[in-house]
Amino acid sequence: MGALILNPQASQLRRYLLGQLLADEQAQIEQRLLADGDFFLEVSISEEELIDDYLDRELSDLEIKAFESHFLVTAERRKQLRFARRLATYLTETEDVAEFEAVSESSAHAARDAAAAPKKKQNFFSFFPALSPALSYSLAAVILVAVVGVAWLAFRDRSTPSGRPGSFVAVTLAPGLTRDGGEIKRIKPTSNDQVVMRLIVPTKNYPVYRTRLLADDNSEVWASGDLAAVEESDANVVIATIPPGLLTAGDYRAVLSGRAPNGSLDDVATYSLRVLQ
């Protein structure tokens, strides 16, 4: 992107790429381009950064005009633009999955590191080295009872078969994106993952929302209870967590409804989501 160009001639190079230089300035650049390998590389990188800036809407109106009428004239450049757009779309679509995978990967690393760490052979009762054996046994028995009790309570309170607790895939959905728009968000949850949908609310008019998740054939896969919108820095979002195991590969629609004062539900927005194998 523009602000990252380090070469002091960056501005001139950008004007060259946009066809905004005088003939003698252009000739200087081109002769250097032909003779200097590092400069050739700089020009190639600057082309990509200009394309990215165009896609990120960071060019001025004048630059956009020059970009479209001069820079994009060749088939080669249009191919570059197409690739940049596809790459950006792909990375955005898979961002949440990648972040989840990165977390999983670092957890796996931690687990592997722990497994690989040299293990000291340790007698359970050596946790209490300062205590006499009799006292150690008594204390161990108390701890054992406490652990079993806590485990039982945790098991009893578990309302959903969540598999690995804390394992989730998060995805942020904007309203109205459809398959035809080519921007449908994709996720790759495992059967143990909870899917956390962050639904961007178009307007915050309702104190309470509900979400229904519909499969491609319009059958209801899941429905939430009452949810409040959360105010975030740039949008209001409703966070809906889908229990593990409900989503198989396919396309889904999330329908967000707001509860009106008379108790009826008004459909507020629809969101598209694709689950990959």
Partner 1 sequence: MKKDWILTQESFDALLAWLDPSREEAGRQYEDIRVRLIKIFICRGCNESEDLADETINRVSNKLHKIRATYEGARAPYFYGVAHKVYLEYRRRPPTPLLPPRSDDSELMEQVHACLEKCIENLAPDNRRLVRKYYQGEKTAKIIRRKKLADSLGIALNALRIRAHRLRGTLQECVEGCLEEVAT
Where does this chain touch partner 1 (CB under 8 A) — which range of 91-99, 108-116, 121-129, 132-140?
Answer: 91-99
Residue 195 near residue 172 (C-beta atoms within 8 A) = no
Between 95 and 114, how does the x/- string for binding to partner 1 read (CB under 8 A)? x--x---x------------
Render the burial of 34-50: b for 16+ CB within 10 Å, e for the rest: eeeeebeebbeebbebb
Where does this chain touch partner 1 (CB under 8 A) — which range of 77-85, 142-150, 158-166, 211-219?
Answer: 77-85
Smallest distance from the beta carbon of 253 to partner 1, in angstroms? 16
Tell me how far apart the alpha carbons of residues 113 and 131 are, in angstroms, rounded to a whole number.
Answer: 32
Residues 134-173 interacting with partner 1 (rule: CB under 8 A): none
Other C-beta atoms within 10 Å of 5: how many? 18
Residue 251 near residue 216 (C-beta atoms within 8 A) = yes
User: Binding partner 1 by CB under 8 A: which of 61, 113, 157, 180?
Assistant: 180
Please report which residue ranges of the chain form alpha helices under DSSP H: 10-17, 23-35, 37-55, 61-69, 75-93, 95-116, 133-157
Where does this chain touch partner 1 (CB under 8 A) — which range of 35-43, 111-119, 137-145, 226-234?
Answer: 35-43
Q: What is the CA radius of gyration of the chain?
A: 29
Asked if 43 interacts with partner 1 (CB under 8 A), we say yes
Smallest distance from the beta carbon of 171 to partner 1, in angstroms? 15
The burial class, CB within 10 Å (0-12 / 13-18 / 19+), for 94 is: middle
**Of 102 and 223, CB closest to partner 1:** 102
Smallest distance from the beta carbon of 91 to partner 1, in angstroms? 5
User: Binding partner 1 by CB under 8 A: which of 17, 195, 213, 238?
Assistant: 17
